[in-house]
Amino acid sequence: MKNVTKYQNKHVLVLGLGTSGVNAANLLLKLGAKVTVNDKQTPADLTVVTKLQAAGITVVTGSHPLELLDGVDLMVKNPGIPYTNVLVAAAVTQGIPVITEPELAYEVSEAPMYCVTGSNGKTTTTTMITLMLNQGQKNGRAVAVGNIGVSASKVAQEVTPADTLVTEISSFQLMGITDLHPHIAVLTNIYQAHTDWHQTHANYIKAKMRVTMNQTADDYFVVNWDVPEAREVANHTQAQVIPFSRQALTTNGAYEKDGVLYYQDEAIMPAAEIKVPGTHNVENALAAIAVAKLCGKSNHDIIEVLKTFSGVRHRTQFVTTVNERKVYNDSKATDIEATQKALDGFTAPVVLLAGGLDRGFTFDRLVPDLQKHVRAMVVFGETADLMADAGQKAGIKEIIHSQNAVTAVPEAYRLSQPGDIILLSPACASWDQWPTFEVRGDRFIEAVEQLKAQVEVAK
């Protein structure tokens, strides 16, 4: 860990008692700061609070008292907390710097940091890159951190200059960086997303652009050339632009042409040999290939990963086969574009489980995809009626309302036929019924396993 002295005797307020907040607080204490952690909610299990207090950290829960800002030099906030939050807004008004945890990780890490951002595909691309960099590696290791579920600030204390932090970073986290400088930055895509948080699509794009704001001509910006808005972002970087394209819009970087994946003029492998399904995973693979090639990895290492990588949990994850029906968990599909890409990955008829948090829009953009791929639907959550309306517009004859993603499982099986795909791809966030998309996906998998046991007993 680098010797960082800037936080000694500084008063730092950490907002949020989640994993990133706890790790940030412990790191700041180690760096000599006087740390207070605040969370609007008081956790049912006070173990984490007790541990922080025992270490010498002040913890205030149950409200956001403004007096906590008195004498504060810096705020480190949970990325999901918006800038409209009373404490965050007051800190900004008072000129108190507000950062997020990846900024701390960058400051203390001896390892270079690569950052992966985008509307969709971040976790899969981050994982692919990490596996490729570690394939055949003798010195050092790549570690996937950040929004992927592993605290960057904790791992950053342990890595060496021979290692690499492959960091999944969200638009929320990017809003709180100042000096973070990735040697390689990846933009998987940009779609209409998170306007409830960023207020406008333009603000969302500006947040994504921050991933490259500190890059120089010695760095690399790997960007999806098939997305016009991503190409526009590339016009504003000082880094060397490395494009990737599934539509062969460029031959300068990584691309697919006639069913083969290339890097520049070098053929790597047939796209059909990638183990995870879907055109979106071809895009993810191209982004990962570009990074791997920039790092000097061999075609053999790249091919080995892409032929064996079976996907990330909750991202078009194959669960099991139930009586000749393949079941997939795509709970991470929290927007329309993610569900469109998931559906496009299948040629067999799909029984789709969809619905969730109502963000105030219809699902008309999904209608052509439903027409092309979906045999039947089970809808649930706040958007059940809106989702059913899209299904009706697509001409789907069998649409059933269910309570949630768990109760939908036996209904979907009843609607399916041998050879069908049963796919949970909600096109909505989970927060109307579940605390996270991971919990939603886990409960779905449990329901599928229960269904499979019942079906096998009945045979």
Q: What is the pLDDT of residues 108-150, one digit of tens each?
A: 999 999 999 998 889 999 999 999 999 999 899 999 999 887 8
Do 25 and 112 have their domain in common? no
Q: What pLDDT was estimated at residue 370?
A: 98
What is the separation of C-alpha 271 from the centre of its chain, rounded to a whole number of angstroms?
23
Do 395 and 249 have their domain in common? no
Average pLDDT, the chain: 94
Do 37 and 125 have their domain in common? no
Identify whether 2 is part of a domain: no
C-alpha torsion 425→426→427→428, nearest 10:
-150
Spatial neighbors of 319 by CB under 8 A, at least 6 apart, are 327, 328, 329, 445, 448
Do 89 and 124 have their domain in common? no
Do 83 and 174 have their domain in common? no
| Residue-number span of the structural domain to which 62 is assigned | 11-98
Q: What is the CATH number of the domain that holds 24?
A: 3.40.50.720
Identify whether 432 is part of a domain: yes
Q: What pLDDT was estimated at residue 430?
A: 95
The model's pLDDT over 370-395, given as tens digits with 9 standing for 90+, comes to 999 999 999 999 999 999 999 999 99
Q: What pLDDT was estimated at residue 316?
A: 84
The model's pLDDT over 416-438, given as tens digits with 9 standing for 90+, comes to 999 999 999 999 999 999 999 99
Q: What pLDDT was estimated at residue 328?
A: 94
Identify whether 220 is part of a domain: yes
**Residue 120 · residue 188 · CB < 8 Å:** yes
Q: Final residue of a domain: which of 242, 273, 308?
A: 308
pLDDT of residue 194 exceeding 80, the answer is no
Question: Residues marked as binding for ATP?
Answer: 118-124
Do 216 and 240 have their domain in common? yes
Q: What is the CATH number of the domain that holds 357?
A: 3.90.190.20
Do 281 and 374 have their domain in common? no
Do 46 and 122 have their domain in common? no
247, two tokens: 């539509």
Q: Could you give the CA distance from residue 3 to residue 222 in angstroms, rounded to a whole number? A: 31
Q: Could you give the CA distance from residue 97 to residue 226 in angstroms, rounded to a whole number? A: 36
Q: What is the CATH number of the domain that holds 165?
A: 3.40.1190.10
Do 120 and 267 have their domain in common? yes
328, two tokens: 């997939």
Do 167 and 127 have their domain in common? yes
Question: 239 versus 82: which is more confidently predicted?
Answer: 239
Identify whether 3 is part of a domain: no
Burial class (CB in 10 A: 0-12, 13-18, 19+), 45: exposed
pLDDT of residue 442 exceeding 80, the answer is yes
The model's pLDDT over 159-173, given as tens digits with 9 standing for 90+, comes to 999 999 999 999 889
For 41-64, what is the mean pLDDT? Answer: 95
Kindly report the pTM of this predicted structure: 0.78
Question: 200 versus 406: which is more confidently predicted?
Answer: 406
Q: Final residue of a domain: which of 282, 308, 334?
A: 308
For 14-30, what is the mean pLDDT? Answer: 95
Do 65 and 205 have their domain in common? no
For 297-326, what is the mean pLDDT? Answer: 91
The two beta strands, 260-263 and 266-270, are antiparallel
Identify whether 5 is part of a domain: no
Identify whether 1 is part of a domain: no
Q: How confident is the model at residue 458 (pLDDT cuts 50, 70, 90)?
A: confident
Q: What pLDDT was estimated at residue 199?
A: 61
Do 298 and 418 have their domain in common? no
Share of the chain above pLDDT 90, in %: 83
Q: What pLDDT was estimated at residue 277?
A: 79
Q: Final residue of a domain: which of 98, 113, 139?
A: 98
Q: Structurally, how many domains does the chain consist of?
A: 3
Identify whether 6 is part of a domain: no
Q: What pLDDT was estimated at residue 279?
A: 85
For 400-421, what is the mean pLDDT? Answer: 97
Question: Which of 6, 64, 63, 56 is closest to 35 using CA atoms?
Answer: 56
pLDDT of residue 193 exceeding 60, the answer is no
pLDDT of residue 341 exceeding 90, the answer is no
Question: Residues marked as binding?
Answer: 118-124
Identify whether 451 is part of a domain: yes
Q: How confident is the model at residue 191 (pLDDT cuts 50, 70, 90)?
A: confident
pLDDT of residue 197 exceeding 60, the answer is no
Task: Report helix angle 279-294 to 122-134, nearest 10.
Answer: 40
pLDDT of residue 459 exceeding 90, the answer is no
